[in-house]
Every structure is written in C-alpha cells, then in structure tokens.
Amino acid sequence: MLLECLFGKARAGVLTSREQKPTEITAKSWIVFSQGQILRGKNTTEVRSIASITKLMTVMVYLDAYKSLNLKIDQNRVQRALVSSDNRAAKELCESYPGGYGDCIFMMNFKAKEMGLNHTNFFDATGLSVFNYSNTEDLVKIVDTASTYPEIVEASRIKKHNTNPTISKYDYTISKTGYINVAGGCVVAKVKDKIVVILGSKNVRTRFVELEQLLRA
C-alpha cells in the first residue's frame, strides 16, 4: 500500500506527452482570432515583412480580374503559387493580369486599401522583396477574405508538395507559408472559425510547432 502511494505520488509529478508544458512562442508577432475577437496575441500591430504570404493577395486580384472578364482561370498556376509557393507561378499570374505586371501590383495595393488594410504594402507578386509587409491584424482580414475564394480553399487543402507539413492533421480552409531571411518563419491558417497568423518565427520548423500549439489552444 505504501509503495503504491509513493509510486502514485511519483507518477503524479511526471507530465505525460499530452500534458507537457507548451513550448515558448518564438515568433516576433502572432495572433489567434475567432468570431470577431482577438483571443491571444503578441505585437499584433507590429509591421513586418510577410514573405510568400504575399501570394494570397496575388492570387486574389488575379481571380477577381479573370472572373469579372469571364476569362479562363489557370488553376494549375494558382495551385503552384499557393501549394508549393512557386515564385515563377506567382510572377506569371501577375504578368498575365489584364494590363500587365504593374497593374497587378497596383491592384494588390488598391484591394488592400479597399479592405481597410492600413499597414500593408505589396511590392512584388512573390514576396521575395522586404517591401511586402503587413501586421497580424491586417493578415487576419486577408486570410478571412481568401477563404471566400473556392480556388484558394481548394489549393490550400492539397497535400502533395504542400509547404505546410501539418496539412494532413487539420481541416484547413486556408494555409499559406512564407520565409525569407528578414521575415523569418511565417505561416497563416484558418481552421473552422479560428485564424492563426505567425510572423518572424525563429526558423522554418518552429513556425509549424507554434502553429499547432496555437490551433490547439
């Protein structure tokens, strides 16, 4: 009996894998948003480079134009730009925009202003430039708007060649990753009514650990 009590006490002091203390969020800024409210966050208004998260806006303005003009959408390029974050595909989408590449970038910024994104700027279609920037609160609006485009939702759920290794674990509506040295590890996601935005994570791997932690929170 005494041994059982002592053993029970010893076990009580050990955390199981499910009970382990959450790892520290290394991201410079992040947000968890649901049903019109910020649930948790850090430096949510801090403006940072967003790397390939840019491609969500690239694809949205491309789809807006092609749908309004009843043109055939190149879904293959859309998927390559979003799923494997193919820079060439994103650039080609913008180059095929009615009026050309410059008009595409102009419309990306125009749409941002229409959406009330006062801390967001787009310089190119790929996100390779440090002058593509935003903050987590603006990106919540971008993710939420992107989730209304069936083509983007379809691409976000493709598992093959997806840059998000957690794609099979959650029922993503939107999933997009980004990384350049200045930006650090970035990822945005929408699962059901929860949106998570992570900017400036320590590296390309920690962003996914942090994403899962915040999705489960």
Spell out the SS3 assignment of the chain: CHHHHHHHHHHHCCCCCCCCCCCCCCCCEEEEEECCEEEEEECCCCCEECHHHHHHHHHHHHHHHHHHCCCCCCHHHHHHHHHCCCHHHHHHHHHCCCCCHHHHHHHHHHHHHHCCCCCCECCCCCCCCCCCEECHHHHHHHHHHHCCCHHHHHHHCCCCCCCCCCCCCCCEEEEEEEEECCCEEEEEEEECCEEEEEEEECCCCHHHHHHHHHHHC
Q: What is the pTM of this model?
A: 0.88
Contacts of 10 (CB under 8 A, 6+ apart): none
- The pLDDT value recorded for residue 24 is 80
- Residues 141, 56: Cα–Cα separation, whole Å: 11
C-beta separation of 216 from 28 below 8 A: no
Work out the average pLDDT over 59-68.
98
- Is residue 7 pLDDT above 70, yes or no? no
pLDDT at position 23: 67
pLDDT at site 64: 98
Contact in structure between 200 and 179 (CB atoms under 8 Å): no
- Which amino acid, one-letter code, is at 54? T
Q: Which domains are assigned to the chain?
A: 23-216 (3.40.710.10)
11, pLDDT greater than 70: no
Under a CB-based contact definition with an 8 Å cutoff, are residues 123 and 53 in contact?
Answer: no
Q: Which residue has the higher pLDDT, 22 or 119?
A: 119
| 97 band by pLDDT with thresholds 50, 70 and 90 | very high
Take residue 14 and report the two structure tokens written for it.
Answer: 């050990």
User: Which tops the pLDDT comparison, 130 or 3?
Assistant: 130
Q: What is the dihedral of CA 124, 95, 98, 109, to 10 degrees?
A: 0
208 pLDDT higher than 90: yes
